[in-house]
Amino acid sequence: MKWKKVLLSMALLAALSGGASAEWTLGPGLASPLPTNPAFSTKGWQKETMNVNIPVSRDPNLLKRARINAAVEVETNRFAKSIEKRNAAWKTTGWISWQSAMDKKESPITSFLLVESSYPDRAAHPMSRAVPMNFDGLGHRVTLKDLKQKMPNLTVEEVNRQIEIQCSEREIYLFPDHTVRKLPDIFYIGKDSHLYLVFEPYEIGSYASGFIAIDMGMVVY
């Protein structure tokens, strides 16, 4: 399993720093941002040990655009401050990138992920987390509670069943005790209009298992 950890760490570092492996995606229904995307552009900056590449909404609805961009800026500033604070005690490099999900201008829901990574100097590997960004047509945040009203299969029991089926099919290693007791906080709606629930490394599987995205089926609007 050690070699898998090394490969995963190398892929994350390269992808998040814009290297050759930038095509790495966290799960199905996601894509690396494209400069031709009419709905979003990408804004990047670097300061000391912080490297940022974040989406900027181009939505024609000014209110929706403002709400999406404000949410991204708030989260980016929060993470940048946490990296700055950690650097006061130990040199730590931070990255923010993003991955495109359902983000066409005509989509009823705009969905993408921010991927935040940190790497303390001389650590065994970087640690990454995903931050869900899901918005309705007016730029209000969409929650799983909202989706559950039209998706009766969105239950803890069904999530556990799908974890067993999909991880077995994909040969993903899970911890012996990997039963989830509540719906996860992280989700996105893919380009295929499917809802994906995301489990981070060490949540139900090892670091080598990476992010685990579970397909819960077509989203009903």
- How does DSSP assign 169-182, residue by residue? HTT----SS---SS
Residue with the larger pLDDT of the pair 33 and 134: 134
Amino acid of residue 183: L
Q: Is the pLDDT of residue 5 over 50?
A: no
Strands across the sheet containing 92-100: 40-47, 50-57, 92-100, 110-120, 127-135
Q: Is the pLDDT of residue 183 over 70?
A: yes
β-pair partners for 61: none
Residue with the larger pLDDT of the pair 9 and 41: 41
Binned at pLDDT 50, 70 and 90, residue 17 comes out as: very low
Binned at pLDDT 50, 70 and 90, residue 24 comes out as: confident
Q: Is the pLDDT of residue 10 over 60?
A: no
Mean pLDDT of 181-186: 96
Residue with the larger pLDDT of the pair 5 and 47: 47
Query: Are 64 and 57 in contact, with CB atoms under 8 Å apart?
Result: yes
Q: Is the pLDDT of residue 205 over 50?
A: yes
- Beta strands 92-100 and 50-57 are parallel
Look up tokens 């899970």; give the residue: 174
CA 92 to chain centre: 21
Binned at pLDDT 50, 70 and 90, residue 14 comes out as: very low
Q: Taking Cα atoms as reference points, which of 136, 141, 180 lies closest to residue 159?
A: 180
pLDDT of residue 220: 79
Q: For the whole model, what pTM was predicted?
A: 0.87
pLDDT of residue 23: 61
Look up tokens 């040969």; give the residue: 171
| CATH, range 2-218 | 3.30.565.40
How deeply is 21 buried, as exposed, middle or buried, from its count of CB atoms within 10 A (0-12, 13-18, 19+)?
Answer: middle
pLDDT of residue 19: 42
**What string of DSSP letters covers 4-54?**
HHHHHHHHHHHHHTT-TTTT--SSTT-B---TT-SSEEEEEEEETTEEEEE
Per-residue pLDDT tens over the stretch 109-165: 999 999 999 998 887 888 899 999 999 999 999 999 999 988 999 999 999 999 999
Q: Is the pLDDT of residue 197 over 70?
A: yes
Cα separations in angstroms, 180 against 83, 124, 198: 30, 27, 12
Token readout for 30 is 């996601």
